[in-house]
Amino acid sequence: MSNQTQDFIAFVKQTFGSQGLIPLHAPNFEGREKELVAKCIESTFVSSVGPEIVEFEKDIARYVGAKHAVAVVNGTQGLQVALRLAGVKSGDEVITQALSFAATCNSIHYLAAHPVFLDVEESTLGLCPAALTRFLEEETLEQDGARYNRKTGRRIAAVVPMHTLGFPAKISLIKQICSRYQVPLVEDAAESLGSFFEGKHTGTFGLFGVFSFNGNKIITTGGGGMIVTDDPELAKAAKHLTTTAKVPHTWEFFHDQLGYNFRMPNLNAALGRAQMERLEGFVQNKRQLASLYQTYAKEHGLHFVKEPKGSLSNYWLNALLLDDLTSRDAFLATTNQAGVMTRPLWTPLNRLPYNQNCQTGPLPVTQNLYERLVNIPSSVRL
């Protein structure tokens, strides 16, 4: 493994044209970012009101093919709001995948609801349709038009698949399953801006989709997220909730319900608009990098993780599948010591201390991927 890893390190440094530290995924600001941010500063509209927010929402809605978009401070809070508007209440249960970033389950906990963790597929890294069907069929029952967990008696209020590393889950099939069992579908599309499944953008299959623009995403607003939906009333409600539920008025401050101060600042949106001008180029650049990795892996006996059949992935984070946990940890240690940043997948969510009491299905694929998968440098190359 040592010689193979050293060869890989040399390849990465040659590919990125650097002998210094090579990050996992660095932002790229070679366009009009400084210009648009400076104009925003000059306008003095730098907080949660301003034209850049509205235009950025239009940019995202147009790109992904959604009718409406609502800009928020980050993807986590966007997912929380989407779940609330999908009908998730305190004491409900939300089905999601165990293989995901903590934000996915945190958004469920913030509503005092309970995550239920199911397995993923190796081919997509996303929620396994068979595991979802099996759980809904065997572990739940129908009552008054809703599904209830046989074991806990709690209502199943939503299903949240995540498009892991930018690879689309089998979202059409997941949507069919949710429709069959009458459970709302909310997509965690945080990592998948620029990814399509069967010609349709991720995040647009469910009642809501939520994207993230954190500093390490394919485009960034520094911090930020976006809720997308085709439902005009839900979009209106999302914007209302995220602006502290303040009733519009020239001078009066009246809030008609408990809302959130989750609106994206205009300053961040200005950065996002400049980044959106370059998104297509970013996706093409990253797909070219994935092709280079794929060729290298094939020639050197490595297993490169390719986009699922029927999808077009943004290849946000490229990945290799190694033999086992021992080889994974040796690879991580050697590459990071050499200044080539790599990382494993997240600790499965069911193993986090605050999720110990959550219901969890069998997770053989999740555990296998956690022990074997490593992410490798995936920045847009200059």
CATH number for the domain harbouring residue 285: 3.90.1150.10
Co-location of 6 and 75 in the same domain: no
Co-location of 267 and 283 in the same domain: no
- Assess if residue 336 is contained within a domain: yes
Co-location of 295 and 180 in the same domain: no
Co-location of 286 and 343 in the same domain: yes
DSSP string, 204-242: SSSSEEEEE-BTTSSS--BS-EEEEES-HHHHHHHHHHH
CA-to-CA dists, residue 362 to 112, 134, 144, 147, angstroms:
24, 11, 29, 21
**By residue range, what is the domain housing residue 72?**
33-276
Whether 217 is catalytic is yes
Instruction: Give the pLDDT of residue 3.
Output: 87
Count of domains for the chain: 2
Nearest CA among 353, 364, 357, 363 for reference residue 152: 357
Co-location of 212 and 335 in the same domain: no
CATH number for the domain harbouring residue 130: 3.40.640.10
Co-location of 23 and 40 in the same domain: no
* Residue 306 C-alpha from the chain's centroid: 18
Which residue, of 276, 300, 325, is where some domain finishes? Answer: 276
Co-location of 41 and 22 in the same domain: no
Co-location of 180 and 104 in the same domain: yes
Which residue, of 276, 299, 328, is where some domain finishes? Answer: 276
Looking at residue 184, its amino acid is: P
Instruction: Give the pLDDT of residue 382.
Output: 67
- Assess if residue 177 is contained within a domain: yes
Q: Which helix (H) or strand (E) is 143 found in, with range? A: strand 140-143
Dist. CA 218–CA 318, nearest whole Å:
12
Instruction: Note whether 65 and 200 are within 8 A (CB).
Output: yes
Co-location of 183 and 267 in the same domain: yes
Instruction: Give the pLDDT of residue 18.
Output: 85
Instruction: Give the pLDDT of residue 75.
Output: 97
Instruction: Give the pLDDT of residue 381.
Output: 85
Co-location of 19 and 76 in the same domain: no
Q: What is the pTM (predicted TM-score) of this model?
A: 0.96
- Assess if residue 234 is contained within a domain: yes
Q: Indicate which residue of 170, 175, 217, 239 is catalytic.
A: 217
- Assess if residue 222 is contained within a domain: yes
Co-location of 220 and 324 in the same domain: no
What is the mean pLDDT of each successive set of 10 residues along the chain, which is 382 residues long?
Answer: 88 92 96 97 94 97 98 98 98 98 98 98 98 98 95 98 98 98 98 98 98 97 97 98 94 95 97 98 97 97 96 98 97 97 98 97 98 98 76
- Assess if residue 381 is contained within a domain: no
- Assess if residue 382 is contained within a domain: no
Co-location of 262 and 116 in the same domain: yes
